[in-house]
Amino acid sequence: MGDRVVYSTDPDWGKKGTPKQPEPVRLSFRRGAKGSGVTRLERLVMHPTLKDHLLSELKRRLGCGGAIKDGVLEFQGDHRDVLAADLQARGYRIRLIG
């Protein structure tokens, strides 16, 4: 935080032990009409530019393509297990859907 003043209406904001996410991140797999399907990472509370950085980092780690559509990170193929382990290591709670 440093010396600058930050205002928040949440009395627990910025305290150690406060979770990054108010609710678990949803990790699901959807198969479309054709292709191998996409792994979707939903309800990630993060600034859009940070989502771009996270997406590019995870795409390099997984070796797959991906995109951000309506705030949802989509990865080509089924990568639920690897993504769940990586995000839990970063401190996020995960809920596997489907």
pTM of the model: 0.77
Question: What sign for the dihedral angle of Cα 38, 94, 97, 82?
Answer: positive
Instruction: Round the average pLDDT of the chain to a whole number and report it.
Output: 85
**Which has more confidence, 14 or 75?**
75
Alpha-carbon distance 5 to 44, whole Å?
A: 26
**Which has more confidence, 11 or 76?**
76
Q: Is residue 67 part of a domain?
A: yes
Number of domains making up the chain: 1
Chain centroid to CA 84: how far? 10
Residues 59-80: what's their mean pLDDT?
A: 94
Alpha-carbon distance 13 to 6, whole Å?
A: 10
**Which has more confidence, 93 or 5?**
93
Give the CATH number for residue 80: 3.30.780.10
pLDDT digits 0-9 by tens, 39-59:
999 999 888 899 999 999 999
Paired strand residues for 69: 72
